[in-house]
Structure 1
Amino acid sequence: MKWLRIFGVLFIFALAMRLLKRGTEMNHMSEFVYRIDCASSLYEQRLSDKTLRAKRKDGNEKEYPHHQIKKAHKYAPNGTAVFRLCFWKTLEDALNHCSPGWVVQRIKSDHNFLNSCERDYDEYFQDKSAYIFWKTMPVNQKNETWSPEGISHDDIEVLLPDGSWVPMSEVGIFRECDLGWERAGVEGNLTVQFKQKSLPDGNWVFLRQRFGNAPIYSTNPSAFYPLIKSISSELPWQLNSVRWVWSYEMPTQVIARELFIVFYSHNRKGLLGIIDKFRSRKNENELKIMDEKNLDESGIKKLYEGFNVSDILIRGYTWVYNFK
C-alpha cells in the first residue's frame, strides 16, 4: 500500500507539472499566430463581413473532433455554443502547409478576442505546431454557424508573395479603391473606379469593376454610356483618339476589353438649330461603341503595370510563396 501511495503521489505530481508546463507555454506564445486561407474565400468574405469569426463546433465532427471542444459543448448553457479557431504556431509551420492560391496571415497572439478564448495545442499535430482557440458564446440567431464576435480584418496582416507583410485592406486583391482613382455609379451602384493616363501607346481611360456585382459591361453595355459621356467631357485629349478599356476583377482572374468608341455631335435641325446657334449652345457629344477586343494576359499585365496597379493581378493560383 505504501508503494501504491508513493506511485499515486508521483503520478499526480507528474501530471501537475505537465499541466503547469502546458499552461506556461500557452501564456508565453510568440508575438504572432498564423493562418492560411484560400485567397478567393477571403475575397468573398470581405464583400459582406470584414471579420474573422470562429466556427461553431461540438466535438463530434467526423473530421478532426477535439476533446476540449466536446467537453466545453457538454457544459455550454442553453442558447450558447462553442466556437473554434485554429492557428499555426510559426510562420514556417504555416508555409509548410500552404499551397498556390492560399494566403498566409498573422494576428497578434494577445489580440483581445484571442485573450478572451481558451487555448491549447491541436491534438492532431504531435509536434505542437498548431493551436486551437475556443470560446462559449451566445448563438447569433441570424447566423448560427459563426461566432457573434471575432477579429477585424483591420487587425490582420497578410504575407505577400514577395515576403513583405501589409495590412489586409492594402493588399491588391482586397483593396476596394486605389489612391488616385475616382469612383462612379453605374446603374445606381458605386461599382466602377476609373482613371485617365497617357502611356507610350496612347491616351487611356481605364474603367475597373470589382467582383461583387454582375459584370455590367457584359450584361448591359449601354449602362456605361452616361459614365463615359461624363468622363469624356473632362478629358484634355481629342475624344476619338482616346483608348478606352473595361476590366472585371474576379477572385481568381481578371478579364479586360478594349472598347472602340466613336464620338459625334448631335446637331439639331431647323428652328431649334438656329436657336442653338443664337444661344451659342454647345452640341452634346453622342457616342457609340463600335467594336471591342478582349485583351490577352500580356495585354492585361502591360495595362495594369502602366497604371501602377499590377499587384492587383496577383490572385488565384498566381498567389505563390516561392521562398519557402
Structure 2
Amino acid sequence: MVNYRYLGNSGLKITELTYGNWITHASQVENAQATACVRAALDVGITSFDTADVYANTAAEEVLGEALKGERRESLEIFTKVFWPTGPGGANDMGLSRKHIMESIHGSLRRLQTDYVDLYQAHRYDYDTPLEETMSAFADLVHSGKVHYIGVSEWTADQIRAGAALAKELRIPFVSSQPQYSMLWRVIEDEVVPASREVGVSQIVWSPVAQGILTGKYKPGQAPPAGSRATDEKSGAKFIERFMREDILTRVQHLRPIADELGLTMAQLAIAWVLQNSNVAAAIIGASRPEQVRDNAKASGVEIPAELMTRIDEVLGDVVERDPARTVEAGPRSR
C-alpha cells in the first residue's frame, strides 16, 4: 500500500503518490475508464487526489467528483486549483482576484460534490492582483471552512516567501508548492526547495516521469509510438516536445540498467527518484488505464542507494535542466 507523508509543517498526511487528472479525465479517456483509474488508485491505498478547475474546462472536476461519490469524505484528501480561465473569457474570468477566487471555489465544490477541499492552490502567480488581496480571500475561505489548507503552483522562491509571510499574519496554513520536477527538470532545487524548507512548505510535484519520456518508450531515431502523448496534438504533444531531443532520449535509455538493478520499471524509477527528495511530500501520477496506477504504486517506499543516485546524475549529465529562472516561464506575466 502507498505510504503517507506530512504536508509541509502541518499535521495533514497525504499519500506520497497522489492521483492527478490533468489531460486525462474528460479529455483523453472516457468517463468510465477514468472512474476505473480512480478506483484502482483507491485500491492501492491512494487517498489524495489532485485536479483543477481549468482541466478539460471544469469537466475533469466533475468526473473526479462522480468517481469519488460514495467514498467516506473524511478518508480522502482532495486538492484543486484556481487561476486559469474557465468561463467565456470575460475580464474577471482569470487570475487571483477576490472575485475570481470566490466564484471559482463555489464552482469547484459543486463539481467535486463536496462541502470543502483539503488543499486549494493558486495555479500560478498573479502579477496583476495585489498578493494581499489574494491571501486575504484565501484566508476567508479557510476561516469559513470551505478550504482547509492553502498551496501554490509554479511560484518562485521569493513569491513563496512573500505568500508565507502573509499567511502567517492571517493565521492560515500555507503548506505546499506544486512545481514540475523530475530527473530531467530540476529547476526547483537551487531556490524553491530551500525557500520552501525555510517557511515550512512541501512540494507536490507534477510530471515526475517527464511527460512519459522517462518511461523509455520514446527511442532515439524512431517515431513516437502510435497513440502516445507525443502524437496527441490536442494536448499532450506541446508539453512533451521540449524533451523530444535525440540527446535526451539517448541518455534516458542508459537509465534502464539502473532500473533493472533495483527491480523497477523505468517509470517506477522516475517516480521513486523524486520521492528521494525529503522536501517532496508527493508525486502526482496520472493514468489512462488502471494497470498504470497499480504499476506506479510500486514506487512508493522505494529507497534508491546513494551510489545509484550518483549514477543517475552521471548518466543524464548536461541534459538536465537546472535553471531556476525557468519557473517564471511557467505562468503569464499579465492577464
TM over 0.5: no
Structure with higher RCO (Cα < 8 A, 6+ apart): 2
Q: Report which of the two structures shows the higher radius of gyration computed on alpha carbons.
A: 1
Higher strand share: 1
Higher helix share: 2
